[in-house]
Structure 1
Amino acid sequence: MREGAVRWLSPAGFFTMRWWEWGPADGAPVVCVHGLTRTGRDFDTLAEALGKAGRRVICPDLPGRGASDWLPDPMLYQPPVYVTALSHLLARIGGPVDWVGTSLGGICGMAIAATPGHPIRRMVLNDIGAFVPQEAMARIREYIGNEPVFRDIPTLEAHLRVVHAPFGKLSDAEWRHLAETSARPAKDGVALHYDPAIAAPIRAQEAQALDLQGLWGRVTIPVLLIRGAESDLLLRETATAMAEAEHVRLAEIPGAGHAPALMDPAQIALVAEFLVQ
């Protein structure tokens, strides 16, 4: 694993977005973008596997997460700003890329793929689609930014096993890895590796359904749509309607909700097979 960084221009000035990179530097690029409160290290298992297959895999920490800079204005923590940061990364890469986006990372991918002249060749949307129901948005609004300081890594791991149980069945080693890569030092212990202020734009308004049909309607590249069978965020009817398009392949992951962790060998094989086409 290698580390990288890019300076990007936001409305508040220049900031640094960092990423984690796997595989040969001259491999065909795959960009993997994480969910709302997560980091690029969530993709370590997938990225290592794709890297061994010859792909260059780049997993950024979105602004306010992981090793990337926090932003001074909480209201900047919104998808258009993330897309701006990611566009700087894409410009640095140059040329075509494949995209794997979990939840928020998929929203960013859709926004980019809906833009004329975009560089995305194929895209994996992991448990995110054209519509997010109000109930799911209310659940997100309730928990985001509320995580406490944890005494130590095992205590944080116990918390993750509860709140991220919908990731699916993970081994003890996988839960420990997620805990270790999710932690940042905090007074009297450790905290999750994101700026609590990312909650501000979500908390600024009442929870309402998120309609992404406008973006989705302009996405024409091949898409692998992955849905956790128990997901409350990507409903089965939404996924089924999206899969009516010829360029969309739908795969449902049993025993998972929002969102499949993409650490299981079968899930990795599903993504890898799609990206080699």
Structure 2
Amino acid sequence: MTQVQIKEVQCLSPSGLHQMAYKEWGDSRNPNTLICVHGLTRVSDDFDVLAKELANDYRVICPDVVGRGRSGRLRDPMYYQVPQYVSDMVTLIARLNVESVHWFGTSLGGIIGMGLASLPGNPIRKLILNDIGPSMNAEALARIAEYVGQDVRFATFDEAWNYVRAISLSFGPHSDDQWRKLAADVMHQNAEGQWVFGYDPGIAVPFKAATPQSVQSDEQRLWAAYDAITCPILVVHGVESDLLSNQTVQEMSRRGPKASSIELVGVGHAPTFLHAEQISLAKKFLLG
């Protein structure tokens, strides 16, 4: 059975200290390290299937971004932003005591990866961007903003997993057991026995504070970051995605690091990499 451990590292924000939890798969002495970072409201457990498949090749590290999963929460929710997340990942990599890493980032995890990979002297040697790029569709961001931070509660787990499936249909086809796991990873029972999301509702504060002007300036910064990246990049694009457009993918192939790309038919935002054919695409790029 593949070895997995849950560990923590202490990180710092301007509002104080916080703990970031992470799952570590495989041999901790393996110098080949893969860091997998989840999307906005998701968790490290999203990568359980992928990590098991890659644990013989890599020491696989799957953090819960602060405010999610097993990690602590920030005292000031306005710091739930990419610079803080990048800083936390630098602290994590220092704890791992490795000189270089490969990176798999889904959605927000990909943005964090771009931010870190753009810095001089960064440790990222290969980067997978799972349905994310420097430009994001405004309507999709509005859709996500509608449900992030909502205080939804369910009397039964069946109601909870059906809700998660309803808001996550863009993940593509999955079995009932897969949907139950996708729900169980992010839902838990509160003191009253109701099923609720496990993330800090405060992660929505900076998200909802965005203005058209701030979104535009963020996009310009992301393109500047992207253009500064020098490592090989694979963009995985869900063809049905409402967040990442084909036009953005094409632009990413033309400029900066000139990413290669793969399209997944019948999938939107974002592929879960629970399926063998998706995992094989990641393995081919990372280990090739």
TM-score by length of 1: 0.96
Equivalent position of 2:286 in the other structure: 275
Structure 1 position 109, deviation (Å): 0.3
2:19 pairs with one of 8, 16, 33: 16
Instruction: Give the alignment partner of residue 156 of structure 2, picking from 148, 152, 158.
Output: 152
Which stretch of the first structure deviates more once superposed, 111-120 or 135-144?
135-144
How far off is 1:252 after superposition?
Answer: 0.7
Question: 1:121 offset after TM fit, Å?
Answer: 0.8
Q: What's 1:76 paired with? A: 79
Matched AA of 2:47: F
State which of 203, 210, 218 in structure 1 corresponds to 2:208.
203
Aligned equivalent of 1:106: 110
Residue identity in the other structure for 1:57: V
SS of alignment partner, residue 19 of structure 1:
strand
Alpha-carbon contact 2:252-2:258 (below 8 Å) kept: no
Task: State the Cα deviation string for residues 175-227 of structure 1 (Å, max 9, x = none).
Answer: 11112111222234121120011100111233545512111111111011001
Q: CA RMSD in A?
A: 1.4
Distance 2:57 2:261 in 1: 25
How far did 1:117 drift? Answer: 0.5
Query: Separation in 2 of the partners of 1:185 and 1:119?
Result: 39
- Of residues 224, 228, 232, the one that matches 1:218 is 228
The 8 Å contact of residues 18 and 72 in structure 2, kept in 1 or not, is answered as yes
Q: CA deviation at 1:147?
A: 4.7
1:161 matched to 2:165? The reply is: yes
Post-superposition shift, 1:31?
0.2
Whether the 8 Å CA contact 2:16–2:75 is kept in 1: the answer is no
Are 1:38 and 1:193, in contact at CA under 8 Å, matched by a contact in 2? no
List 4+ stretches of structure 1 deviating above 2 A.
Answer: 205-210, 244-247
| Residue 84 (structure 1) shift | 1.0
1:42 aligns with 2:52: no
Q: Percent sequence identity over matched residues? A: 41
Please, which of 32, 39, 64 is the counterpart of residue 36 of structure 2? Answer: 32
The AA in structure 1 aligned to 2:173 is: K
Contact 1:148 1:191 in 2 (8 A): yes
For 2:163 and 2:15, how far apart are their aligned partners in 1? 34
Choose the corresponding residue for 2:241, options 226, 231, 234. 231
Per-residue deviation, 1:17: 0.1
Structure 1: any 5+ residue segments left out of the alignment? Answer: none
Partner of 2:254: 244
CA distances 1:31-76 after superposition (whole Å, capped 9, x unpaired): 000000001111111111111x321111000000000001111111
Q: Write the letter of the residue equivalent to 1:136.
A: A
Distance 2:151 2:234 in 1: 32
Shift of 1:247: 4.6
Contact conserved, 2:149 with 2:203, CA < 8 A, in 1?
yes
The answer to whether the aligner puts 1:54 opposite 2:57 as a matched pair is yes
Question: For the Cα contact (< 8 Å) 1:24–1:54, is it kept in 2?
Answer: no
Deviates more, 1:145-154 or 1:3-12: 145-154
SS in 2 for 1:132: coil
State the shift of 1:152 in Å.
Answer: 2.5
Given that 2:15 and 2:76 are in contact with CA atoms closer than 8 Å, whether structure 1 keeps it comes out as: yes
Tell me if structure 2 keeps the 8 A contact 1:39–1:193. Answer: no
Secondary structure of the residue aligned to 1:131 is coil
In 2, Cα distance between the equivalents of 1:258 and 1:250? Answer: 15
Aligned residue type for 2:207: I
Name structure 2 gaps, 5 residues minimum.
none
SS in 1 for 2:254: coil
On the 8 A contact 1:167/1:258 being kept in 2, the answer is yes
